Structure 1
Amino acid sequence: MNSLPLFHRIAGTRVVVVGEGDAAEAKRRLIERAGGTCCGEAEAHHARLAFVACDDASEAEAAVRRLKARGLLVNATDRPDLCDFTVPSVLDRDPVLVAVGTGGASAGLAKHLRLRLETLLPPALGQLADALYAARDKLRSRFPGPAERRRALDAALAEGGALDPLSGVAADRVASWLQDPVANNMATSVEIDLKGDDPDDLTLRQARLLGQADLVLHDPRVAQAILDRARADAIRRPLDTEEQASADLPAQGLTIILRLTNAD
């Protein structure tokens, strides 16, 4: 990964667009859709972001240099080597946004991946996000501890859970779920035997469990690429002995134990 995906708020701010034609108009529409105001290079001192959509390569390079010299982050259409940032293909379920990017390698690939995801994610997904946001005070009251709250939400939002995001009706269930939530507060541990260092060899179930783990106990030889599949805030500890595994199991939450089965 050589890019850090971010969502940049531009509502109510100016964004520079340099260029004419279809590509420049597409950028203007995107900016306006996100609540920003398009402006020209003369107003660059009011802006933080800029898009350059010029057919002529030398003209585009010159505009990029000028804008970067003024401290703006710049995207140049079809010229990834000039870009400070790239624009993903966006699936909009406001306020849920799913962005698919390829780092400028192939906008067509990003678009078609997004189109596939469009068929999977229900239109009401944004309503679920709004309902959970509105219920945040009740959530904190019902589950005072952050870890307890996360486990409750993990159980509810999981496939088949009370608030399964893909069900299409989860937004209507938030209030009733809070009245009688089903939260897994028991400690659970799952062992995963790895045959190599490639994270693509993980099964869908194994990848999902890693993404939900509170604690990851792992053979010190497990590849970093596999550990990166765990939640960013999951605790990671190298595992040397069977006795250590038993001693490290917490009283609550999900623990994943990763072992290498073919290591020398």
Structure 2
Amino acid sequence: MHSLPLFFRIAGRPVILLGAGEAAQAKRRLIERAGGIAVGEADEAASLAFIALDDPEESAQAAGRLRARGILVNVVDQPALCDFTTPAIVDRDPVLVAVGTGGASAGLAKAVRQRIERLLPPDLGALAQALAEARAALRARWPDARQRRQALDEALREKGMLDPLGERPADAVRLWLDGAGEDGPADRAETILLTSSDPDDLSLRAARLLGEADRILHDPTVPETILARARADASRVRLTSESPRPAGPGLTLIVTWAKAS
């Protein structure tokens, strides 16, 4: 990974925009849609800049001047001069999905974004907002952060009560909280037998289990590229030669969860 994906809050803040053509207008719309204020190069309060000038040499010079002031720069159609790139965005406010290629191909990012757009239901943002408004109730029900995360993981899983891609009543979060004390996720363990060291060969189920588990027990030779698919806060334990494991070829991953009640 050559870039760090971040979301900048620019509402009410100045963002430098240089240029007047179609590309510059597209960047202006992007800035204003996020609540930012497009300003000129002289603005001393800006920390981001978009350069959409017709002359490549003029663009490079402007990028150098701005970068010398500590400003992060995006130069249209010149990825080598960019400190950051703008992804293709799926907007389900407040949920944003960004697809980037590091400037390699805006067309590819757009094509992937269009596929994702069809998958995400229009009410996904409403679910996020309902969860935000229920934050106090969640903390009251599960004061421990780990327990809270476990309960949410269970509700948000595929076919769970709050499945983000499934059908839900408008008051799904309230209904879930009303019945949350009855059924929490149980202690459990799942075994994943890897047939390849390539993370792209993980099944959808294996990738989901890795992304949800609290603890990962793994063969010492399981590559870091696969372990990276687990949550960053999941603990990792190397299996020893004496550790029990299923028969058959392949590398073993054992993923475990703790009860959230």
TM-score, L = length of structure 1: 0.90
* Structure 2 partner of 1:2: 2
1:180-232 CA-partner distances (Å, limit 9, x unpaired): 02654422111111123101111111011101111001111100100011111
* Structure 1 partner of 2:249: none
Shifted more, 71-80 versus 141-150: the winner is 141-150
Quick check: 2:214–2:256 contact (8 Å CA) kept in 1? no
**In 1, Cα distance between the equivalents of 2:210 and 2:242?**
20
Q: Decide which of 231, 252, 257 is 2:258's aligned counterpart.
A: 252
* Structure 2 partner of 1:11: 11
Going from structure 1 to structure 2, the CA distance change for 1:150 and 1:251 (only over 3 Å counts) comes to closer
Report the residue type matching 1:202 in the other structure: L
- Residue 170 of structure 1 and its aligned partner are, at CA, apart by 5.3
Report the residue type matching 1:150 in the other structure: R
- Residue 174 of structure 1 and its aligned partner are, at CA, apart by 0.5
Quick check: 1:91–1:99 contact (8 Å CA) kept in 2? yes
* Structure 1 partner of 2:248: none
- Correspondence 1:84-163 to 2 at 5 A: 84-163=83-162
Gaps of 5+ in 1: 255-264
Report the residue type matching 1:121 in the other structure: L
Going from structure 1 to structure 2, the CA distance change for 1:83 and 1:183 (only over 3 Å counts) comes to farther
Quick check: 1:163–1:170 contact (8 Å CA) kept in 2? no
Shifted more, 31-40 versus 196-205: the winner is 196-205
* Structure 2 partner of 1:33: 33
* Structure 2 partner of 1:262: none
* Structure 1 partner of 2:203: 203
Going from structure 1 to structure 2, the CA distance change for 1:109 and 1:149 (only over 3 Å counts) comes to same
Gaps of 5+ in 2: 246-253
Structure number with higher helix proportion:
1
- Residue 171 of structure 1 and its aligned partner are, at CA, apart by 4.6
Quick check: 1:162–1:170 contact (8 Å CA) kept in 2? no
Report the residue type matching 1:129 in the other structure: A
TM-score, L = length of structure 2: 0.91
Report the residue type matching 1:76 in the other structure: V
* Structure 2 partner of 1:258: none
Helix, strand or coil at the partner of 2:102: coil
Going from structure 1 to structure 2, the CA distance change for 1:168 and 1:75 (only over 3 Å counts) comes to farther
1:155-182 CA-partner distances (Å, limit 9, x unpaired): 1111111111112535521111101026
Helix, strand or coil at the partner of 2:90: strand
- Correspondence 1:145-184 to 2 at 5 A: 145-169=144-168, 171-181=170-180, 183-184=183-184
- Residue 6 of structure 1 and its aligned partner are, at CA, apart by 0.3
- Residue 243 of structure 1 and its aligned partner are, at CA, apart by 4.2
Quick check: 1:124–1:168 contact (8 Å CA) kept in 2? no
Quick check: 2:215–2:257 contact (8 Å CA) kept in 1? no
Helix, strand or coil at the partner of 1:166: coil
Helix, strand or coil at the partner of 1:46: coil
* Structure 2 partner of 1:71: 70
Helix, strand or coil at the partner of 1:12: coil
* Structure 1 partner of 2:216: 216
Going from structure 1 to structure 2, the CA distance change for 1:146 and 1:242 (only over 3 Å counts) comes to farther
* Structure 2 partner of 1:259: none
* Structure 2 partner of 1:236: 236
- Residue 19 of structure 1 and its aligned partner are, at CA, apart by 1.1
* Structure 2 partner of 1:260: none
